[in-house]
Amino acid sequence: MNLNGAVALITGGSEGIGHALAHGLKAEGAAVTITARREDVLVPAAEELSVDWLVGDVGVEADAIRTVASVVEKHGRLDILVNNAGFGLWKPLIEMELADLESVYRTNVFGAFLMGREAARQFIAQKSGELINISSTSGLKGGRGSTAYSSSKFALRGMTECWRDELRRHDVRVMLVNPSEVLTSFAAKVGWDQQASAKKLRSQEIADAIIGALRIDNRGFVPEFSVFATNPF
């Protein structure tokens, strides 16, 4: 697709992969809006990027509806939705509470569903659109302590496959992106001691890969891809 002039909405766009992708799409000439729950973090990021911003929680239905509607009202269309908002929680199974699982699913699964549904309604009406879900290689293979996070990404992958089959009939491309370990603030927020290394992935590599996939002519698309560091050891 031609990214120049495209209208893009990125959830969780105040930092990490979302921030890098907003920067990349803006550089391509897209009209970008980023969202996040915290205004104090979102506004400085939007000002730095020179993009629009909307405060909202993707896991709250009214916020999801309002967010997509606001972008469509301003631009008259929506061309790209990136479901990037997400977080993790690592606990042994026997220490997990139901509330732990529910909190992760509220954003990673239900939030992606709500935003995807609202965007899909617009995409079907205009007979075009790009729906990109940011998953993880943890959604391809689970591990100890990762019941909440990995299973949420497995669920996102399943929803993506359903949406892909359903929406391609309306000329809508649905893609799933599985980043491996990326150096972001994600790890610190969940108490994971991430070791920094110049050989590990940055958000920039993920953003570059997504933009490359979007550039493919609309007659074809990349349904799913993973991004690994070449040699992080």
Length of the chain: 233
Cβ(112)–Cβ(81) below 8 Å:
no
Among 82, 77, 56, residue whose Cα is nearest residue 67: 56
Among 149, 150, 151, 203, the one annotated catalytic: 149
- Whether 189 is catalytic is no
The catalytically annotated residue of 14, 105, 135, 136 is: 136
Give the C-alpha separation, 49 to 229, whole Å.
Answer: 26
Query: End-to-end distance of the chain based on CA atoms, in angstroms?
Result: 36
**In the numeric block, which tokens belong to residue 170?**
């309306």
Contacts of 112 (CB under 8 A, 6+ apart): 58, 83, 85, 86, 133, 156, 159
Choice among 105, 135, 138, 153 that is catalytic: 153
Residues labelled as active-site residues: 136, 149, 153
